[in-house]
Amino acid sequence: MAALTGAAHAQTLSVAGADRALRDVEAAMDAILAMPLVDRTRVVIGGQSRGGILSVAYAGAPSR
């Protein structure tokens, strides 16, 4: 079971391996955004089950 804990501005995702999985999502997004035909203002992320949890966590993470 996944849970977000903490204040809205500093949440922790309590899913086993979440840190590595979020780094993988970030690497995938970096690769996608580096593609010349990708409109950076129109990229959507989503998922199902664990992927859905990770997509919400990634979308809610502080931007780089």
Average pLDDT of the chain? 82
pLDDT at residue 1 in the model? 45
Question: What predicted TM-score, i.e. pTM, was given to this entire model?
Answer: 0.70
How wide is the angle at C-alpha 10 spanned by C-alphas 49 and 22, nearest 5°? 40
In this model, does residue 26 exceed pLDDT 50? Answer: yes
- DSSP E strands, 1-59: 4-5, 12-13
Report residue 30: phi and psi, to 5°: -60, -45
